[in-house]
Chains A and B, each alone.
Chain A
Amino acid sequence: MIIAAFLLLFALLGAPLFAVIAASALSGFHSGGMDLSAVMIEINRIVDTPVLLSIPLFTFAGYLMGESKTPQRLVDITRAALGWMPGGLAVVTLAVCALFTAFTGASGVTIIAMGALLYPALMQEKYPEKFSLGTITTSGSLGLLFPPAIPLILYGIIAQTSIDKLFAAGILPGMLMVFLLGGYSMFVAHRAKVPTQKFNWATLGRALRGGIWEVPLPVIVLGGIYSGFFAVSEAAAVTALYVLIVEVFVYREVPLRQLPGVMVKSMTLVGGILIILGVSMASTSYMIDQEVPMKLFTFIKAHISSKLTFLILLNVFLLILGCILDIFSAIVLVVPLVLPVALNYGIDPVHLGIIFLANMQIGYSTPPIGMNLFIASYRFDQPVVKLYWAALPFLVLLLAVVLIITYWPALSLFLPALVQ
């Protein structure tokens, strides 16, 4: 108990989470009379998980696209296709950010790369400032539920659930988020009397030709996976090589000598995630050894009998969790505890994954440590408190979607049922 309080204190003081988790694993193994090298056996289990390969490869591909003019081309295409709608540019922002985040993982790349293009454009078209800031801030994590987002892969690994099914499960809930926020944007644009643009086939054609090498990418990834042609990690390998060839040799926007820098930068993020994954496998194995999930379930079952009440509490718990922990640490630390309990309440592990990530997505934009808020604050030179308020209406809408996702399992489970 004293050790736990001590570790919590260090975590709150800003100690690297991997060190805090490793310390809990080390002290647990030590008090259990086990050799400390057993901790290393657990960390070394990283090599027994083939699908982990997809994490460095997708992350690298995402960073590389962020360094090239992919964001600009994506904006051009989406704007030509959707710009005619009322609130067109805001809808474009949502769609583009969601798509880009799915590939880059919500690591702040979206806000930095897309925000630079879209925030000035939104202001120029006379969208209210607060609305524009709120759109960009919350869009930074909007694509988390779309394949091939890293959090989906990580959840699949931890929960030992089919990643193919998780990819399919996130699509409808993710689209619901985009549609609801899109509707709100149209309403705001209408009220602020933002002028609309005419649709033009020639413009769309030109934009599509400009991005002709990148447009097929989602088809290659998803088509490859669902036709059974690729495994997830193979799709990642093909994506990485394809993006490398396209950006460096076809578009020539990233010079070859910059490539090492992009690799190192993207692997720094991957290293931060994998080291937490490694030490968490050790701490989890200790907790399972101590039957913590079972004790947790017995305790919860004694107080909560209905699945509905459990889900409500789960939502509250995950929202608070999302306010203090980043999504990767939350997945590796909390899923092993929550999953067995949720299974006992008859919740599908794929559905739980979508609930988990949807809640965590909101945490990106909530005080006190919502990463999107700080990145946007830094990027647009605005006080964080102003961004709290700007993000609020979006958070309310996202919360509504989270509730729909939680209490309507079919929304998440309909598509995976078609994938066999």
Chain B
Amino acid sequence: MSEAKRPHIVRRVLHGLENGSLVTLLSVMILLAVWQIVLRNLAGMRIEWAQGLVGKFIWIDPFLRYGVLWVGLLGAMVASREYNHITIDVVSYFLKKRVKAAVKVAVDLFTALVAGLLTYAAVNFIADEMTGGAKAFAKVPTWIAELILPVAFGVIALRYIIFAGRHIYEALTGKDETKEAAS
């Protein structure tokens, strides 16, 4: 909860990290995916230097598959920071503002609990993977390539705890703080 006390620096650093890694990773993935196609087709045309390179770039394929996991979970982290996950949300249209905030507190705590359990599951999963010693691609072990799992679920859990705090304040005072939370 130290994040709530000094929102600016911690939050800005975290947002910057999320956005920065998303943008870098997606750009690299686009370039590598296209490079892989070019290389394969050149090699198919029996161009010698390309044929020689194919073997050096076989890591691209698994890299892209793990990249999807990272991009997806980073995107999910951003979605939770913007309180923007896919929901059904039929009931809240009919509720008054303060009741709505109270319902949100319950929903936030539920989400935080589930994300917390997922984090616990992810930490155990990573621990198992570390003993296995399998490689994801090149020399990168799988547990490093999967490290985003506990990180993402952990950050999501923390965010929903903070949202719960905000919504408790809102339910008590009737003031709307969620908009600030998105910034």
Q: Which of B30, B79, B136 is within 8 Å of A272, CB to CB?
A: B79
For chain A, the count of residues having a C-beta within 8 Å of the partner chain is: 64
Give the residue of B69, B86, B117 whose beta carbon is less than 8 angstroms from that of A44: B69
A41–B115 Cα gap in the complex (Å)? 16
- Chain A, residues 21-51, CB within 8 Å of chain B (1/0): the string is 0110010000000011101110110111110
List chain B residues, Cβ under 8 A from A50: 61, 64-65
B149:A43 contact, CB within 8 angstroms = yes
Decide if A16 touches B149 in the complex (CB within 8 Å): no
- B contact residues around A273 at 8 Å (CB): 72, 86
Within the assembled complex, what's the spacing in Å between the Cα atoms of A267 and B71? Answer: 7
Q: Which of A13, A259, A272 is B107 in contact with, Cβ under 8 Å?
A: A13
The one of B37, B72, B79, B115 that contacts A56, using a Cβ cutoff of 8 Å: B72
Cβ A56 vs Cβ B88 within 8 A: no
Inter-subunit contact B75/A238 (CB<8 Å): no
Interface residue? B34 (CB, 8 A)? yes
Closest-CB distance, A286 to chain B (whole angstroms): 13
Q: Is the CB of A267 within 8 A of B86?
A: no
In the bound complex, do residue A268 and residue B78 qualify as a contact, i.e. CB atoms below 8 Å apart? Answer: yes
B85 and A18 contact, CB distance less than 8 A: yes
Tell me the chain B residues, 1-36 only, with Cβ under 8 Å from chain A: 19, 22-23, 26-27, 29-31, 33-34, 36
Residues of B within 8 A of A36 (CB): 117, 120-121, 124
Q: Is the CB of A271 within 8 A of B72?
A: yes
| A26-B118, A37-B121, A328-B86 as given contacts; A52 in contact with B68, CB under 8 Å | yes
Contact call B31/A241, Cβ cutoff below 8 A: yes
Among residues of B, the one whose C-beta sits closest to the C-beta of A269 is: B75
Q: Which residues of A contact B114 (CB under 8 A)?
A: 19, 22-23, 26
B92 within 8 A of A: yes
Which residues A244-286 have CB closer than 8 A to chain B?
244, 259-260, 263-264, 267-276, 278-279
On whether the beta carbons of B30 and A40 are closer than 8 Å, the reply is no
Instruction: Give chain A residues whose Cβ lies under 8 Å from the Cβ of B73.
Output: 271, 274-275
Tally of chain B residues near chain A (CB < 8 A) = 61
Known: A53-B29, A267-B71. A35 touches B37 (CB 8 A): no
The number of A-B residue pairs with CB atoms under 8 Å apart is: 200
**Within the complex, which residue of B33, B36, B37, B79 is in contact with A57, where a contact is CB–CB below 8 Å?**
B33
* B90/A278 in contact, CB under 8 A: no
Cβ of A368 within 8 Å of any chain B Cβ, yes or no, is yes
Q: Is the CB of A271 within 8 A of B92?
A: no
Q: Are B146 and A44 in contact (CB under 8 A)?
A: yes
* A267–B26 touching, CB < 8 Å: yes
Chain A 227-249 per-residue mask, 1 if CB under 8 angstroms from chain B, else 0: 00010011011101100100000
Is the pair B125, A44 in contact by a Cβ cutoff of 8 Å? yes
Answer yes or no: B128 CB below 8 A from chain A CBs: yes
Q: Identify the interface centre among A264, A267, A368: most chain B CB within 10 Å of its CB.
A: A267
In contact, B118 and A40 (Cβ under 8 angstroms)? yes
| A145 interface contact, C-beta 8 A | no
**Hey, which chain B residues are within 8 Å of A225, CB to CB?**
none
Among candidates A233, A260, A272, residue contacting B84 with C-beta atoms closer than 8 Å: A272
B23-81 interface (Cβ within 8 A of A): 23, 26-27, 29-31, 33-34, 36-37, 61-62, 64-69, 71-80
- Assembled-state Cα–Cα distance A14/B149 (Å): 24
Chain A residues, Cβ within 8 Å of B87: 11, 14-17
A272 and B69 alpha carbons, distance in the complex (Å): 12
Residues facing A in B78-136 (CB within 8 A) are 78-80, 82, 84-93, 103-104, 106-107, 110-111, 114-115, 117-118, 120-122, 124-125, 128, 136
Q: Is the CB of B65 within 8 A of A275?
A: no
A37 and B22 contact, Cβ closer than 8 Å, known pairs A44-B149, A244-B30 = no
A127 on interface, CB distance cutoff 8 Å:
no
Is there contact, CB below 8 Å, between B65 and A368?
Answer: no
> How many angstroms between the C-alpha atoms of A53 and B66 in the bound complex?
10
Residue contact A267 to B68, C-beta cutoff 8 Å:
no
Distance A346 CA – B110 CA, assembled complex (angstroms): 41
Known: A16-B87, A56-B26. 14 other contacts (CB 8 A): A16-B80, A16-B86, A17-B85, A18-B85, A18-B86, A22-B118, A37-B122, A37-B125, A57-B29, A240-B33, A260-B19, A324-B88, A328-B86, A368-B90
A binding-site residues for B, Cβ under 8 Å: 10-19, 22-23, 26, 35-37, 39-41, 43-44, 46-50, 52-53, 55-57, 60, 230, 233-234, 236-238, 240-241, 244, 259-260, 263-264, 267-276, 278-279, 324-326, 328-329, 368-369
A-B contacts, 26 of them at CB < 8 A, read: A11-B87, A12-B91, A13-B92, A19-B85, A19-B114, A23-B114, A37-B122, A40-B118, A40-B121, A47-B65, A47-B68, A50-B61, A52-B65, A55-B68, A237-B30, A238-B34, A241-B30, A241-B31, A260-B19, A263-B27, A267-B75, A267-B78, A271-B78, A273-B86, A325-B88, A328-B86
